[in-house]
Structure 1
Amino acid sequence: MTRLRMAVIGVGHLGQHHARILANMPDVDLVGVVDANPDQARTVAAKLGTEAYEHFEPLIGCVDAVSVVTPTIHHHAVASAFLNAGVPTLVEKPVCRTLAEADDLIALADAAGVPLQVGHIERFNPAFEELARRPIRPKFVEAERHGPFTGRSIDIGAVLDLMIHDLDLLLALVGGPVTRVAAVGAAVFGGYEDMVNARLEFENGCVAHVTASRITRHPKRRLRVWAPEGYAGIDFVTRKLTLVQQSAELREHGIRAEQLDAAAKARLKDEVFGRYLQVLNLDADRKFDQLTAELKHFIYCVRTGHGPRVSGRDGRDALELAERVLAALRAHPWEGSAEGPHGPKPPRPAGWLFPPIQIARPEAA
């Protein structure tokens, strides 16, 4: 098999892992890495035995596919240049800054007849893959995505940085359209929103509560689904899926707990899980690497022409829903009136929850 010539544009925190994985694939020839920081490009290139570039243009015409892992503000400029040249392109999430930019990339990919894949990596989490194969019709969903402040992706807020993962998963699992969006969020550090909660109502009756925070001390990434078929809970960190369903006896005959005598009620407490509610826990291989799976899928699509699991249109749909969340967030009245403060900047504090801790500052030299 001919080796696929590939390059990675942007080899910062995430991009260097794209490059590392591709460099170790036997059917890929990593011909170059690009970064605006030439020292970073040279460091990554030296480790992987490839060429370093400060600009991406010299690689157009020299690659069969490309992975774009730059800051979001550069996605359109970089991806459009490669798509214009007919090069299959993987773009990290969010697909672009605006819907117009996303629409342009989709049109370019369609015109060239090449795959455009968006890096919503949680679609490749084995716990979500397993859930997506089940006959479940979500009617209430809770999604939480919390993490510590990293200092990365500060050109966007928590919605486009974190929540967009779960918005994409919801659209894939529930479908659309979303008929109503309400949101509240706060910019703790004064820039973009650092924490946000959204309530989504779908046309099919599903309601979803989605929370994202990038100033939480301990990471939490989970999805909980209630449906007529039962309950499903995913821990994206441990890649664990928990399924709960009614037993055949309970589905067929039901149970009226209020009509039971004292002895039967006492037995019911011990029989709820087992006789009436059945539980299945599924654990994925802890060594499974989602980014490797995502890149392998992209390469498969490049070689076969198969449509990506997360297409440009999927990325656009997630971005559109994220923009609706942001619009609702900006319109939220903190005091419940049109005159009061709106948006991610909350009202001034009424006081201290506890006495301020005095932090000693280093003396100037």
Structure 2
Amino acid sequence: MTTLKIGLFGVGHLGKIHLSQLSTMLNVEVAGFFDPSDANAAGVHELYPNLRRYESAEELIMAVDAIDIVAPTTLHFELCQMAIRNGKHVFVEKPMTNTIDEGKTLVKLVEEANIKFQVGHVERFNPAFLALREYDLKPMFIEVHRLAEFNPRGTDVSVILDLMIHDIDIVLSIVKSSISRISASGVAVMSDTPDIANVRIEFHNGCVANLTSSRISLKKMRKMRLFQKDAYIGIDFLDKKTEIIKLKTPEDEGLFTLDIETNSGRKTIAIENPEIKQSNAIRMELELFRDAILQNKPVHVNVIDGFQAVEVAHQILQKIGRGQTEN
């Protein structure tokens, strides 16, 4: 099988994780990297002394078949555009772009080009979420908490584009309806952009999603709760656990059950803990990107998915901005 030559843009903390996965992947050759930081480059050369550091982004793009962008968000658009115009496949970390206009331009460029373009929404590949692939998700209420300790590394963008965008993407992928209304509030505490935010997204089908994200918490939490007809589904993205509590059906024999007296009579509840198949989410998304190119398959998180998440994130930021102006 053909070997895919990949160039890596950005070898900071996450970039080094990508490099460690790509360098041990079948049918992949990491041709080199580009990063203006001498400190980052030195860290790479300690582990990969023979890996070439390119002096310019253009030079690296021209030397490879595909690029993996793990650079700051503000650089995503320029690098994506340069690669697409040169016919190169692109994997770009979330958020896809820094602005809605940049996202619109990339959508148009990708649609016109004969390349594969995948966005790194890694929570799509979290084992706890993958455990629900065969389950019929039709939530009518969603509650999400994503809390993180403060880390200056992510503060080049707001908590919406840094953390909440993971959950925006997941919610948009499972709610099969368009958005009717967004309400939001947020506060900048440690940086120049919101560090904590609460958002309510209402959909035309009646579903409501409440999302809370904070990067100034004392503990970590990444939980999503889905409520739908006759079922509650809990997903713990951090501890990789999934739980389904539902009204028992004939297919639920063998599950732990509980009888509950209600106003309409006795109901039997079944509790299911789907099997969690442990996997490396970053490696999985990069392998799927490789396979999409070498086997000419669709990518799993495409440019439209990436754009929609960015668009909703910016609508939230606009709501927060208006609220702060009105106060």
TM-score normalised over the length of structure 2: 0.92
| Unmatched 5+ stretches in structure 1 | 261-267, 342-365
C-alpha RMSD of the superposition: 2.1
Q: How does 1:101-250 map to 2 (within 5 A)?
A: 101-248=102-249
Q: Percent identity?
A: 34
Tell me whether 67-76 or 186-195 shows the greater mean CA deviation.
186-195
- Please state how far the C-alpha of 1:47 moved relative to its aligned partner: 1.4
**Amino acid across the alignment from 1:84:** R
Decide which moves more: 130-139 or 1-10.
130-139
Deviations 1:287-339 (A, max 9, x none): x21000010011011112222111011010001111111111112269xxx4x
Q: CA offset at residue 283 of structure 1?
A: 4.7
Deviates more, 1:96-105 or 1:308-317: 96-105
Q: CA deviation at 1:256?
A: 6.5
Q: Give secondary structure in 1 for the equivalent of 2:273.
A: strand
Say which of 276, 281, 284 aligns to 2:273.
281
Which stretches of structure 1, 4 residues or more, deviate above 4 A after TM superposition?
A: none
Note the alpha carbon deviations across 1:207-245, whole angstroms, 9 max, x for none: 010000001111100110000141111000121110111
8 Å CA contact 2:123–2:281 kept in 1: the answer is yes
1:311 counterpart residue number: 302
Q: 1:178 to 1:47 in 2, by over 3 A?
A: same
Match of residue 264 from structure 1: none
Out of 277-286 and 187-196, give the one that drifted further: 277-286
Q: Normalised by the size of structure 1, how large is the TM-score?
A: 0.83
Aligned with 2:152: secondary structure? Answer: coil
Partner amino acid, structure 2, of 1:320: E
Asked if 1:302 is matched to 2:293, the reply is yes
Distance (whole Å) between structure 1 residues aligned to residue 263 and residue 207 of structure 2:
29
Which deviates more, 296-305 or 125-134? 125-134
Instruction: Determine if the alignment matches structure 1 residue 76 to structure 2 residue 68.
Output: no
Residue 187 of structure 1, CA deviation = 0.7
* Structure 1 residues 259 and 134: CA distance shift in structure 2, 3 A: closer
Matched, 1:329 2:326: no
Show the counterpart of 1:51: 52
Q: Which residue of 2 aligns with 1:351?
A: none
Aligned residue identity for 1:188: V
Write the distance in 1 (CA, Å) between the matches of 2:214 and 2:260.
41
Name stretches of at least 5 consecutive residues in structure 2 with no aligned partner.
251-258
Distance 1:284 1:194 in 2: 32
Contact 1:120 1:165 in 2 (8 A): yes
Matched AA of 2:288: H
Secondary structure, counterpart of 1:60 in structure 2: helix
- Rg larger in structure: 1
3-state secondary structure, aligned to 1:193:
coil
What is the CA distance between 1:257 and its match in structure 2? 3.1
The letter for the 2-side match of 1:282 is: P
Aligned-residue offset at 1:85:
0.7
3-state SS of the aligned residue for 1:53? coil
Amino acid at match of 1:17: I
Q: Which residue of 2 aligns with 1:257?
A: 262
CA distance in 2, matches of 1:320, 1:4: 32
Residues 41 and 54 in structure 1, CA contact (< 8 A), matched pair in contact too: no
Q: Which amino acid aligns with 1:297?
A: L
Residue 175 of structure 1 aligns to a residue whose secondary structure is coil
- Measured in 1, the distance between the counterparts of 2:216 and 2:125 equals 25
Matched with 1:6 is: 6
2:318 alignment partner AA: A
Structure 1 residues 30-83: Cα deviation after superposition (integer angstroms, max 9, x where no partner): 110111103322431441341112422111221111101110000011111111
Question: Which letter maps to 2:283?
Answer: T
How many residues are treated as equivalent by the alignment?
A: 319
The 1-side partners of 2:316 and 2:74 are apart by 20
Moved more, 45-54 or 28-37: 45-54
1:41–1:53: 8 Å Cα contact kept in structure 2?
A: no
Q: 2: CA distance between counterparts of 1:146 and 1:256?
A: 36
8 Å CA contact 1:199–1:209 kept in 2: the answer is: yes
Aligned to 1:99: 100
Give the Cα–Cα distance (whole angstroms) in 2 for the partners of residues 284 and 3 of structure 1: 32
- The question of whether the paired residues in 1 share the 8 Å contact of 2:148 and 2:220 is answered with yes
Question: In 2, Cα distance between the equivalents of 1:240 and 1:259?
Answer: 32
The structure in which a higher percent of residues are strand is 2
